[in-house]
Amino acid sequence: MRKPAALCFAVIVLLYASALSKAQSKSAELSDVVDRLVRSVEEQNQGWSHTSVPPIEGSRDVALEQWASDGKVVKITIVRYPSQEEAAKSMREFAASMRANRSSTDSGEEGYSWGSLNSFVFRKHNFLVYIYVKGSDAEDEKQLRKQFARLIVDAIHN
């Protein structure tokens, strides 16, 4: 049951991100955030394998990163918007289309979850961050989500 949910999550995020963009490119700001995130994960989660997934052709300012270790998987999509207002508007539209529930978050200005707790999106400044986790159980997934959200927020702040 989790595989269809993960596939659905990935397709929705990719289609949504590509619909908002016109030309494939990644800004220096997003590249810097991704570089800091990858370094942080490597330092704190040794033994995890990392894969950068190319975004759909035509996407702009979208990064897709994936980590895996011992049956655990974390998939992250980061979308950079020109302004905080545009990011907030996009998040509201996405949340409404997914019938997402507002979630409390230590990680950003606002956050939403849908389906199970392993799919989560939050906004930090002009970035939307989509996180999908697969752990050994619900508690493991919750901890992975929190850990990676903190690493992402740190990468955005630095």
Q: Which residues contact 108 (CB under 8 A, 6 or more apart)?
A: 122, 123, 124, 129, 149, 153
Q: pTM of this prediction?
A: 0.81
Q: Report pLDDT digits (tens) over 66-108.
A: 999 999 999 999 999 999 999 999 988 988 888 877 776 666 6
Most confident of 22-36, 40-54, 99-113: 40-54
Which of 11-25, 43-57, 119-133 comes out lowest in average pLDDT? 11-25
DSSP per residue, 17-42: HHHT-SS-B--HHHHHHHHHHHHHHH
Domain 2-157 class in CATH: alpha beta
pLDDT at 147: 93
DSSP per residue, 86-154: HHHHHHHHHHHHHTPEEE--SSSSEEEE-SSTTEEEEEETTEEEEEEEE-SSHHHHHHHHHHHHHHHHH
- Where is pLDDT greater, at 12 or 132? 132
pLDDT at 153: 93
Mean pLDDT of 49-76: 95
Residues 55, 78 contacting (CB under 8 angstroms): no
Q: Are strands 127-134 and 72-80 parallel, antiparallel or unpaired?
A: antiparallel
Q: Which residues contact 129 (CB under 8 A, 6 or more apart)?
A: 76, 77, 78, 79, 107, 108, 121, 122, 123, 149, 152
pLDDT at 18: 47
Number of other residues whose CB lies within 10 A of the CB of residue 93: 12
Q: Report pLDDT digits (tens) over 130-156.
A: 999 999 998 999 899 999 999 999 999
- Where is pLDDT greater, at 18 or 97? 97
